[in-house]
Amino acid sequence: MEFRQLQYFVKVARKQHVTQAAEELHVAQSAVSRQIHQLEEELGVQLFVQKGRNLQLTSVGKLFLCRVEAIMTDLERAINEVHEFMDPEQGEIRIGFPHSLGIYLLPTVVARFRETHPRVKFRLRQGTYNSLIRDVVKGEIDLSFISPFPEKHNQVTGDLLLLEELYAIVPQEHPLARNEQIRLEQLKNDSFVMFSEEYSLRSIVLEACTKAGFTPKIGFEGEETDTIRGLVAAGMGVSMLPEMALTEISQLQPSKVRVIEPRVTRSVGLIQRSGDKLPLVAEGFRKFLLEFFIHRS
């Protein structure tokens, strides 16, 4: 069994398509098919079944994928540790983040860190609350920004970085658009543009509306802050977004209004796998972030 076979197997399993896997691997489709066939022959099992134009993992294929991904992650980490040992300033940091922190916060801290560590590389992964925790637990990323910060979790640990205020956003022609502050209940008759169910900001907004004494009417749903902001600016409803998600100026710009009752905040933290020792370069970035947010507060 060769390392290349495992690489090809993982890529085909993720893409569910030999042609697409071959394109990403920059090899011929026949080479990928041949390596997968040889791997199946060596194992004596069928790893994939054809379903339409796609390939799907068999039950034993899914089991094998879990083990192979763990091996690949450990091998990648071992390679990084060797590079760090030779030169700690040349390592790679694998970090996850939710979309709402990718607009301003993530670029800011990465750029600041690279001012003094210019040769450090970053591998970034965007995800939802649950997917980011899963990726940290599986060892696919070293660190992750997360919101809300999980105070108690069996498999991850970390540090609370900040509490961020959420603002109401309304179309510029809305009757409350020129107000400096409002009570959330003043929006109870409006249609809300809400995040999809897998996003933690949705539950924060729903909980705030419940505290204000009403259940919001949901007119539209989206998956990114830019989409939410754009729909509100276009007059499709109202919503609530974190302050950092409102820093960018665009052509479609809603009005931002402070909510004083109830005051709505979200916690933002940094997590890593419990009981795990971070690579040197990732530990250095973690310490930099803690110092950065102490001085920011």
The string of pLDDT tens digits covering residues 22-76 is 888 889 989 989 999 999 999 999 999 988 888 899 999 999 998 898 888 888 7
Q: Tens digit of pLDDT for each residue in 269-291? A: 999 999 888 888 899 999 999 99
181's enclosing H/E stretch is strand 181-183
Relative to beta strand 143-146, strand 255-261 is unpaired
Nearest C-alpha neighbor of 218 from the set 201, 194, 197, 189: 194
Question: Tell me, what amino acid is at 132?
Answer: L
DSSP state of 71: H
Asked if residues 215 and 264 have their Cβ atoms less than 8 Å apart, the reply is no
Cβ count near 124 (within 10 Å): 13
Mean pLDDT for the stretch of residues 127-134:
93
- For the chain, domains (ranges, CATH) are 3-74 (1.10.10.10), 87-162+267-296 (3.40.190.10), 164-266 (3.40.190.290)
> Is 0.75 topped by the overall pTM?
no
CA distance 38 to 61: 14
**Contacts of residue 199, Cβ cutoff 8 Å, sequence gap at least 6:** 98, 128, 129, 223
